[in-house]
């Protein structure tokens, strides 16, 4: 299984090189409170409480997005819970009524129990002539579009009743859904579903972008994502460091400029792929072909003798050699500049011996698949700075000694733990792949469900090896390679669709992207 990255609808367009920081919910609340405290005195003199003014800006931004997305809609169902998320909903309802729309306003918490800005939102809705209806089990949603203002980023545990029932009603309605700040039930810090969550069509998030909207299960719940900072520059709060950066495809062109006309193959490195134990040849062939397609000057393949013929037929440019043990591979290890090891390696004596030789070589390593499993079994405490590990959630769980569900419940924590325990650079694959290196964590917002097929990770490891061979640091190779891999999958899916996408389809698309020539839909 490979890096099915985040949803294709994300808050930036390819080519936007501006850094896009991602924060935890508590950090965003701190930024919010500072902005309110620093509001201009004139706002207060006019009677506009700074917090409520910010709430109004949020509701207006969300309403604009709603009208752009569903311009023909004339009826809304707005479901409000408690806290400022509910307040945003009440204000949006008022804006919609004043704009001539019909609004069904449902409250899961007694509006009289709300305080602060949320209470002012209720007053604004009532001032617009709206009647707040209490939620009932048999409530029927009458709107053409549903607005989710139930639960915000402060949700800390599983969704309780009556919210769980309301979320179920929203999802069962099959109406388009606008979620305010975050789909109710989705964890803002991890992208995990807390029991049940709203499946939004569009999420409009405010102040600063949240990490949990871009990884894990978020891909199935956020829908299209619009980020509205409301005039707040989170970068002005330098002491609140973002936990990650949302990566952009423009990094590819920056890292891979046009080559000098007088270049020769010796300028672009020598990749050695080690893998393909007897009966397991396909993975290593995919990795070696990807390394060749992504521009390595030379690619060698150390594999079981029975797979050499298949390599020569598939990619004769790869220098394939059958190896029966470490002695056969020694000259190849000495000649290589970067080693990709793990695809189809196996975990018996053949694979163990070659893994030991690769670790002893002193060369930069890209380790995937059985290479990762062997690290757990044979080198459980090994920590290095010159390797790039590419686990999927199951392999990450094996490396950390936890379950795959625990990895997915908090991918950020798992990524940080892998970095601390093993050193080097890591790509935690999956929806919203995380790249952890010396400079922090990057999130890949590209990719599609078609990548959930065998061999995708082998292609990624070959791409990464090729980039390291061409002079990129391990961290830069991990970021650029993950982007190439995911964007290539998106290009392939745009032509032929997601279902039936094969790992072998990606190398040619990735090559086009690496040369700065985006593909177009046929």
181 annotated among ligand-binding-site residues: yes
516 annotated among ligand-binding-site residues: no
DSSP strand pairing (440-443 vs 434-437) = antiparallel
163 annotated among ligand-binding-site residues: yes
220 annotated among ligand-binding-site residues: no
184 annotated among ligand-binding-site residues: yes
344 annotated among ligand-binding-site residues: yes
Residues forming beta bridges with residue 106, ordered by sequence position: 79, 133
Query: Can you tell me which residue has the tokens 């709107």?
Result: 143
Q: By C-alpha distance, which of 385, 521, 371 is closest to 461?
A: 371
471 annotated among ligand-binding-site residues: no
429 annotated among ligand-binding-site residues: yes
Q: By C-alpha distance, which of 503, 1, 505, 2 is closest to 282?
A: 503
Q: For residue 112, with 0-12 CB atoms within 10 Å meaning exposed, 13-18 middle and 19 or more buried, which class applies?
A: exposed
433 annotated among ligand-binding-site residues: yes
| Residue ranges in 46-131 assigned as alpha helix (H) | 50-69, 83-98, 116-127
Q: From the centroid of its chain, how far is CA 470?
A: 26
509 annotated among ligand-binding-site residues: no
419 annotated among ligand-binding-site residues: no
283 annotated among ligand-binding-site residues: yes
Going by C-beta distance under 8 Å and a sequence separation of 6 or more, which residues neighbour residue 160? none
End-to-end CA distance of the chain: 28
User: Read out DSSP for 266-324?
Assistant: GGG-EEEEE---TT-HHHHHHHHHHHHHTT-SEEEEEE-GGGHHHHHHH-TTSEEEE-S
H/E stretch holding 357 reads helix 349-360
Q: For residue 518, with 0-12 CB atoms within 10 Å meaning exposed, 13-18 middle and 19 or more buried, which class applies?
A: middle
202 annotated among ligand-binding-site residues: no
DSSP strand pairing (132-134 vs 319-322) = unpaired
For the beta sheet containing 270-274, the strands, ordered from the edge strand earlier in sequence to the opposite edge, are: 20-22, 244-246, 440-443, 434-437, 425-428, 387-389, 365-367, 338-341, 270-274, 298-303, 319-322
194 contacts 25 by C-beta, under 8 angstroms: no
155 annotated among ligand-binding-site residues: yes
265 annotated among ligand-binding-site residues: no
430 annotated among ligand-binding-site residues: yes
457 annotated among ligand-binding-site residues: yes
469 contacts 12 by C-beta, under 8 angstroms: no
85 annotated among ligand-binding-site residues: yes
297 annotated among ligand-binding-site residues: no
d(CA 449, CA 430): 10
- Binding residue ranges for (6S)-NADPHX: 152-158, 163, 181, 283, 344, 392, 458
Indicate the annotated binding residues: 85, 148, 152-158, 163, 181, 184, 283, 344, 392, 429-433, 457-458
Annotated binding site for K(+): 85, 148, 184
Annotated binding site for AMP: 429-433, 457
């Amino acid at each position: 299984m490979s890096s099915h990255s985040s949803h294709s609808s994300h808050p930036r367009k390819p080519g936007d090189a501006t850094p896009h920081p991602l924060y935890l919910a508590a950090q965003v609340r701190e930024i919010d409170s500072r902005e309110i405290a620093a509001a201009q005195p004139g706002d207060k003199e006019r009677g506009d409480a700074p917090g409520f003014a910010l709430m109004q800006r949020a509701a207006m931004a969300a309403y604009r997005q709603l009208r752009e997305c569903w311009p023909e809609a004339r009826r809304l169902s707005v479901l409000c819970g408690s806290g400022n998320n509910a307040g945003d909903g009440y204000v949006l309802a008022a804006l919609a009524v004043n704009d001539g729309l019909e609004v069904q306003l449902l409250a899961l918490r007694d509006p009289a129990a709300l305080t602060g800005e949320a209470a002012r939102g209720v007053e604004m809705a009532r001032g617009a002539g709206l009647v707040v209806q209490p939620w009932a089990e048999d409530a029927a949603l009458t709107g053409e579009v549903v607005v989710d203002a139930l639960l915000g980023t402060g949700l800390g545990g599983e969704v309780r009743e009556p919210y769980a029932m309301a979320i179920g009603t929203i999802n069962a309605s099959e109406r388009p859904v606008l979620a305010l700040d975050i789909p109710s039930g989705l964890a803002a810090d991890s992208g995990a579903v807390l029991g049940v969550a709203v499946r939004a069509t569009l999420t409009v998030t405010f102040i600063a972008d949240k990490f949990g909207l871009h990884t894990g299960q978020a891909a199935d719940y956020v829908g299209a994502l619009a980020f509205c900072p409301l005039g707040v520059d989170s970068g002005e709060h330098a002491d609140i460091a973002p936990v990650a950066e949302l990566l952009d495809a423009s990094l590819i062109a920056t890292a891979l400029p046009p080559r000098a006309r007088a270049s020769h193959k010796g300028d672009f490195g020598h990749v050695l792929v080690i893998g393909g134990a007897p009966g397991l040849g396909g993975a290593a062939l995919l990795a070696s072909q990807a390394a060749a397609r992504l521009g390595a000057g030379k690619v060698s393949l150390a594999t079981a003798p029975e797979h050499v013929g298949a390599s020569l037929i598939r990619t004769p440019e790869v220098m394939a050699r059958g190896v029966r043990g470490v002695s056969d591979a020694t000259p190849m290890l000495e000649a290589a500049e970067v080693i990709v090891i793990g695809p189809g390696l196996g975990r018996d004596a053949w694979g163990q011996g070659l893994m030991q030789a690769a670790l002893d070589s002193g060369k930069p390593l890209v380790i995937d698949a059985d290479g990762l499993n062997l690290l757990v079994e044979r080198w459980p405490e090994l920590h290095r700075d010159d390797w790039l590990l590419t686990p999927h959630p199951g392999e990450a769980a094996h490396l950390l000694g936890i379950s795959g569900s625990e990895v997915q419940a908090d991918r950020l924590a798992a990524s940080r733990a892998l970095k601390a325990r093993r050193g080097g650079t890591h790509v935690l694959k999956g929806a919203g792949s995380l790249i952890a290196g010396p400079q922090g964590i990057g999130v890949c917002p590209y990719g599609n469900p078609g990548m959930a097929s065998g061999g995708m990770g082998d292609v990624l490891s070959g791409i990464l090896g090729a980039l390291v061979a061409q002079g990129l640091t391990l961290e830069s190779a991990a970021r650029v390679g993950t982007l190439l891999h995911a964007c290539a999958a998106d290009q392939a899916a745009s032509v032929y669709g997601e279902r039936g996408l094969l790992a072998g389809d990606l190398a040619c698309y990735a090559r086009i992207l690496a040369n700065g020539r985006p593909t177009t839909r046929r």
